[in-house]
Amino acid sequence: MLEHFPAFRHIAVVAHPQLPAAIEEAEEITEYLKTQHLRASWSLLNDDEMRRGIATRRFDLVIALGGDGTMLRAGHLCAPHGIPILGINMGKFGFLTELRREQWRDCLYRLLQGDYWVEKRMMLYAEHWHGEHRYGAWDVLNEVVVTRGQLIRPVHLSAHVDGQLLTTYVADALIVATPTGSTAYSLAAGGPILPPELRNIVLVPVAPHLSVDRAIVLAEGSRVSIKISDSSHAVFSVDGQSPLDLFDADRVDVRMGEHLTLFIRFQDPGYFYRNLTSHMNRNPSTGVSR
C-alpha cells in the first residue's frame, strides 16, 4: 500500500543559493501555495531560520529546487524529523528530483488532492573514531568515501563486516554506498545498481591494486568498520562534502541509519528503471544527447 501523509499545512520552499532561476521559481511556487490557502514561505537552502523551522517540525513538507546536491542536503535536514521532500530539478541529472521545472503547477494540484505516494530511502550512519574517542557522526544518503589525500599513492584499508575481517584493500578509495548512492559515485566506479527500496550496503573499491577488485553487497543490517593502516595519508567524505583527514589507526564505522529520507512521488513505483535507462543514455554533463 502506498503511504500518504495528512494534509500539508505549512510548506517550506527552499532554493539552491547559487541558482537565480531556482530562487525565482521558489517565489512563484510560494505565491501559488498561498492562493491555495496554505502557509508557505521560501528561503535559500542555507538559511538558518529555515533550518530551525525544520528542526522544530514547524514545516510538514519541504519543496526543494536545485539538483541532486540540493536533494542530498535537504535529506540531511529533513530525514531526522520525518519531513518529506518534493524535488524540482533545476540542475542537470536530477536522479533524486521528481519534477521538471515546467511540471510543478500541475503536480502541486495533485499533491493537494492527495494524488501522490511517499518513497522511503535508507540512510547510513557514519562515525569517525580514534581509539575510544569519537570525532564526529553523520547521517548519509548517498555514500561514505575513504580515499587517498594529496599524495598520489593508494591507501591501505582494512574492512571489517560485523566484527570480522573481510579483506585489506590497497586502492585509491573505498566507497560505502546506500542503494540511493549505487547510482552515484559507486556506479561510476563499476558498482552494481540497487533498487532504491532495498536496505543493503554496497562496498566498492576504486582502482584496487592486487586486492579484491569486486563490489560486495552486504546483508541487510550489516555493519562496516574501515581502519586506516600502514601510515596512509587518507581522507573521508560524506555525500560529497568537504573531506576530513584520517590518520594511522583511525577508523570509520558505518551502519544502517535509524532515519529514512522521504521523497514525494507522482510517477508509478516502476519509475526507477524507466528513469535510470533514460539518464544513462543521456548524460547532460558531457553535452552529448543520444
Q: Which residues are catalytically annotated?
A: 68
Q: How far apart are CA 245 and CA 229, in angstroms?
A: 14
Burial environment of residue 275 by CB neighbours within 10 A (0 to 12, 13 to 18, 19 or more): middle
In this structure, which amino acid lies at residue 226?
A: I
Using an 8 Å Cβ cutoff, are 107 and 87 in contact?
no
Beta-carbon count within 10 A of 125 CB: 17
Cell triple for 168: 585489506
* Alpha-carbon span 258 to 97, nearest angstrom: 23
Cα separation values, 172 from 159, 206, 216, Å: 14, 5, 17
> Taking the alpha carbons of 262, 264, 268, 274 in that order, is the dihedral positive or negative?
negative
Distance CA 85, CA 78 (A): 8
CB 119 within 8 A of CB 148: no
Query: Position of cell 563499476?
Result: 190
Q: Which residues pair with 121 in a beta bridge?
A: 261
Cell of 231: 601510515
Write out the H or E segment, with its range, that includes residue 72. Answer: helix 68-78
What CA–CA distances, in Å, run from 229 to 126, 153, 173, 186, 256? 19, 14, 13, 23, 25
